[in-house]
Amino acid sequence: MRALPELMDPKRARESPESAVLSRPSAFPDEVLERILSLLDTHKDRSSASLVSKAWYHAERWSRARVFIGNCYSVSAEILVRRFPNIRSVTLKGKPRFSDFNLVPQNWGADIHSWLLVFAEHYPSLEELRLKRMTVTDQSLEFLALKFPNFKSLSLLSCDGFSTDGLSAIATHCRNLTELDIQENGIDDISGNWLNCFPDNFTSLEVLNFASLNSEVNFDSLERLVTRCNLLRILKVNKTITLDQLQRLLVRAPWLTELGTGSFIQELTPRQYADLETSFKGCRNLQTLSGLSEATALYLPALYPACANLTFLNLSYAALQSEELARLLAYCAHLRRLWVLDTVEDKGLEAVGQNCPLLEELRVFPSDPFDEEIVHGVTELGFLAVSYGCRKLRYVLYFCRQMTNAAVATIVRNCPDFTHFRLCIMNPGQPDYLTREPMDEAFGAVVKNCPKLQRLAVSGLLTDLTFEYIGTFAKNLETLSVAFAGSSDLGMQCVLEGCPKLRKLEIRDCPFGNKALLSGLEKYESMRSLWMSACKITMNGCRLLARKMPRLNVEVMKDEESNDGQSYKVYVYRSVAGPRRDAPPFVLTL
Amino acid sequence: MNAMYEKNIDLEATELRLGLPGTSKKEITSRSKKRPLDESTEGSSSNNDDRLECSAPPPSKAQIVGWPPIRSYRKNSLHQKKEEAEAKAGVYVKVSMDGAPYLRKMDLNIYEGYQQLLEALENMFKITIGKYSEREGYKGSEYAPTYEDKDGDWMLVGDVPWEMFIPSCKRLRIMKGSEARGLTCGL
């Protein structure tokens, strides 16, 4: 029986203590074994356990309740239900990540519906569905709402294909719903009426996130919903909720652990402001705060009393200035994760370094990414300032317009614990702005100084040297994103040959050709996927790859954006399900 | 004779261009073209100039699909924010009326169309402007509202769609008396 490649980790199985102790067939009755294995909850542990022996494999598959599928085409619903009969929770990821940036045409696939049909038959007790980059239609949402009476938790991130009508179906029919989490999807936002569809006797909601929907909801409905759902711990409202409405909601649910405010701007009377302050004072359990779009210096202070226990502050939709941020951060000493817009500038990041010694994650998003004349935003100085004050930094996403090799070298000397380093110098192919040299040494420093690095995104002017460094030093690297970089096939080869744990490689606009593509043959079977677009791959190269590696799916699309009409978008991934049967006409499976 | 003359002139040497000294458009190869084998192994030993010359001037950001890598949702909300900011920014123009001792200022953005604007003008100056017609302008009124557009011409308020009017209006002037009647009689 073939195990799912996604769920296999042979190395771990050999190292696991269980295999050393139990070298003979299990002496436990199956039920006991299943009971023990049901205590394993991480996917990696379960995968390892399933490889120990046949008995363990079966005990594990009967006791598994949650499954994670990182590429929906790596396996089929039929194979899934055959192996795991008792699944309650499914997490599925669909399109390649570059689809977030419009590099994948519409109707590419990753439609949830065929999965739902199989689940209705085999997992009627399904409770949780978490989807990322999948196509979900209103029809699917209605089907989900009607066919799964125990359904509790729906999370849709970066999905497309549905409208607020689909949400109405969920609200109307899912009597046991505990979570409705709708984030950053490309949907048809018709109206906020879906919120009114929760029945009056519906009280089970614990998580409600509709921050990214734009249409106005009926506030009375929302207030009544929040009032009667006394288990509600996560509430993220959208921009149409005003400050005084927010205040009324906080009064109803002061025990929230995560709050997403609406637009934080409104003319408040002194009395209203006082009430707002009092309500925030009452929120003693707040760990996560987000929203705050259009927050200004005027009303931010009302928040201060709620920030004492804050560990995650998401200001990535709030265009704060440096002083506003500095004053707010003075109250956020326990912050571990911070997302901001680059309107805070280097000065704001200095305040981060000064106030947040426990910070582990920083994301700085650009407020004006497409305007070439903008001279604002953050520079290498801001990043440096953070690295001096926040030595525990391990995750960074940084959009900037200038960087130097020296700065990055200092940053990773200050913070050697990086697991995720994603640097985006927004002008493609831009060198070190002081020395005019390529940024090779910067990323060389990253991989040399940060042994725990799992995820890396590179940018700026880069030669093959960067990739030689990566291949030589980044031994724990799992995900690599490359754009407008490299000099020759050698670059990509270095990575494919040098990074043993590589799972996801996504490349665009690089001079890597067939030689590079074909240097990774067996490697691709140990990876989740490879994406290459606007490189120097030819159809023949792809055909050769497909011929040599029949267990890989090699999908090719014509690159509409390229000038020469010869360049392709290639998506290569391992699969036990064979070539997909739902490929649209513009996707050629070789 | 002319042809020979042209052959001897190196026009490129005298051409004014933005760029680093020592680089020229011809020498810069496209990023995506493969370099011959011997160059590809040079890697670390090639000097700075070589590396710079071999990189194409990147196309402007506006033309690159999916760059910088920002999710569509975020891109759309940034765009929305920009539009909202511009709308809120306020379009203040000076308003003068013939015979009035001093000028006024008003924010055109707060009005949704010509009707509201004209009502506001009537209130501000305590006058009646009358109804606009394409053929006859503001007939039956002593006053004609005009505006100076981007080209410096004085135009009759109401001829162009409201959305076109807002960005092109630099100042308003309410003409009075015979001058006004001259405008409304048509040409």
> Least CB-CB distance to A426: which of B20, B40, B68?
B68
Domains and CATH numbers, chain A: 1-64 (1.20.1280.50), 66-232 (3.80.10.10)
Joined tokens for residue A336: 């571990």
* Contact between A365 and B44 using a beta-carbon 8 Å cutoff: no
Question: Is A561 near chain B, with CB under 8 Å?
Answer: yes
Q: What pLDDT score does B46 carry? A: 38
Counting other chains too, the contacts that B105-112 makes at CB distance below 8 Å and 24 or more residues apart are B106/B172, B108/B166, B108/B169, B109/B166, B112/B162
Q: Over 50: is that where the pLDDT of B39 sits?
A: no
* Contact between A464 and B40 using a beta-carbon 8 Å cutoff: yes
Q: Which residue of A has its CA nearest to B78?
A: A367
Strands (E), A193-269: 207-209, 234-236, 258-260
Q: Which chain A residues have a beta carbon less than 8 Å from that of B66?
A: 98, 101-103, 508
**CA–CA min distance A319, chain B (Å):** 10
Using CA atoms, how far residue A2 sits from A7, A38, A83, A224, in Å, is 11, 21, 9, 51
Contact assessment for residue A553 and residue A524, using Cβ atoms and an 8 Å cutoff: no
What is the residue-wise DSSP string for B92-127?
EEEEEETT-SS-EEEEGGG-SSHHHHHHHHHHHHT-
Q: Which chain B residues have a beta carbon less than 8 Å from that of A431?
A: 52
Q: Which of residues 103-122 of A touch B (CB under 8 A)?
A: 103
What is the residue extent of each domain of chain B?
Answer: 92-180
Strands (E), A320-470: 337-341, 361-365, 395-400, 420-425, 455-457
* Contact between A489 and B71 using a beta-carbon 8 Å cutoff: no
* Contact between B71 and A511 using a beta-carbon 8 Å cutoff: no
**DSSP 8-state code for residue A135:** B
Quick one: how far is CA A514 from the chain centroid? 30
Q: What pLDDT score does A554 carry? A: 97
Residue reference for tokens 């759902």 = A229
Q: Which residue of B has its CA nearest to A102?
A: B66
Q: Which residue of B has its CA nearest to A159?
A: B73
pLDDT digits (tens, 9 = 90+) for B11-29: 555 555 555 555 444 433 3
Q: What pLDDT score does A399 carry? A: 97
pTM: 0.79
Q: Over 80: is that where the pLDDT of B85 sits?
A: no
SS3 A226: helix
Q: Confidence band (pLDDT; 50, 70, 90) for B10?
A: low
Question: Is A528 near chain B, with CB under 8 Å?
Answer: no
Of residues A308 and B33, more confidently modeled: A308
* Contact between B61 and A511 using a beta-carbon 8 Å cutoff: no
* Contact between B61 and A509 using a beta-carbon 8 Å cutoff: no
Mean pLDDT calculated for residue range B37-59: 40
Given 2.60.320.10, 3.30.70.980, 3.10.20.30, 3.10.20.90, which CATH number is that of B92-180? 3.10.20.90
**CA–CA min distance A4, chain B (Å):** 31
What single letter denotes the amino acid at residue A307?
A: C
Contact assessment for residue B33 and residue A397, using Cβ atoms and an 8 Å cutoff: no
> Least CB-CB distance to A484: which of B31, B34, B52?
B31
* Contact between B73 and A534 using a beta-carbon 8 Å cutoff: no
Q: What pLDDT score does B21 carry? A: 57
What is the residue-wise DSSP string for B149-177?
-TTS-EEETTSS-HHHHHHH--EEEEEEH
Q: Which of residues 275-304 of A touch B (CB under 8 A)?
A: 293
Q: Over 50: is that where the pLDDT of B3 sits?
A: no
* Contact between A365 and B70 using a beta-carbon 8 Å cutoff: yes
CB-CB neighbours of A581 under 10 Å: 9
Bridge partners of residue A361, in order along the sequence: A337, A395
Q: Which of B61, B67, B79 to mutate to test the interface with A (most CBs of A within 10 A)?
A: B67
Q: Which of B33, B37, B72 to mutate to test the interface with A (most CBs of A within 10 A)?
A: B72
The per-residue pLDDT of chain A, averaged, comes to 92
Using CA atoms, how far residue B177 sits from A258, B141, B143, B181, in Å, is 66, 9, 7, 6
* Contact between B48 and A427 using a beta-carbon 8 Å cutoff: no
SS3 A161: strand
Q: What pLDDT score does A87 carry? A: 96
SS3 A363: strand
Q: Which of B23, B78, B80 to mutate to test the interface with A (most CBs of A within 10 A)?
A: B78
> Least CB-CB distance to A465: which of B39, B43, B61?
B43
> Least CB-CB distance to B35: which of A102, A427, A487?
A487
Q: Which of B55, B63, B88 to mutate to test the interface with A (most CBs of A within 10 A)?
A: B55
What single letter denotes the amino acid at residue A273?
A: Y
Q: Which chain B residues have a beta carbon less than 8 Å from that of A365?
A: 70, 74
Q: Which of A100, A106, A239, A487 to mutate to test the interface with B (most CBs of B within 10 A)?
A: A487
**CA–CA min distance A65, chain B (Å):** 32
Question: Is A366 near chain B, with CB under 8 Å?
Answer: yes
Per residue of chain A (590 residues), give pLDDT as tens: 444 444 444 444 444 555 445 455 556 788 888 888 888 888 889 989 999 999 889 989 998 999 999 999 999 999 999 999 999 999 999 999 999 999 999 999 999 999 999 999 999 999 999 999 999 999 999 999 999 999 999 999 999 999 999 999 999 999 999 999 999 887 888 899 999 999 999 999 999 999 999 899 999 999 999 999 999 999 999 999 999 899 999 999 999 999 999 888 777 888 989 999 999 999 999 999 999 987 777 889 999 999 999 999 999 999 899 999 999 999 999 999 999 999 999 999 999 999 999 999 999 999 988 876 767 899 999 999 999 999 999 999 999 999 999 999 999 999 999 999 999 999 999 999 999 999 999 999 999 999 999 999 999 999 999 999 999 999 999 999 999 999 999 999 999 999 999 999 999 999 999 999 999 999 999 999 999 999 999 999 999 999 999 999 999 998 776 666 668 899 999 999 999 999 999 999 98
Q: Which chain B residues have a beta carbon less than 8 Å from that of A212?
A: 73
Question: Is A98 near chain B, with CB under 8 Å?
Answer: yes
> Least CB-CB distance to A101: which of B31, B33, B66?
B66
pLDDT digits (tens, 9 = 90+) for B88-110: 667 889 999 988 888 998 888 88
Question: Is B54 near chain A, with CB under 8 Å?
Answer: yes
Contact assessment for residue A211 and residue A236, using Cβ atoms and an 8 Å cutoff: yes
**ipTM reported for the complex, 2 dp:** 0.86
Distance CA(A247)–CA(A256), nearest Å, equals 13
Question: Is A463 near chain B, with CB under 8 Å?
Answer: yes
Q: Which chain B residues have a beta carbon less than 8 Å from that of A436?
A: 20, 48, 52
CB-CB neighbours of A525 under 10 Å: 13
> Any idea what the Cα angle at residue A292 is, between residues A286 and A297, rounded to 5°?
105
Q: Which chain B residues have a beta carbon less than 8 Å from that of A511?
A: 31-35
Burial A452-469, CB ≥16 within 10 A → b, else e: ebbbbbbbbbbbbbbbbb
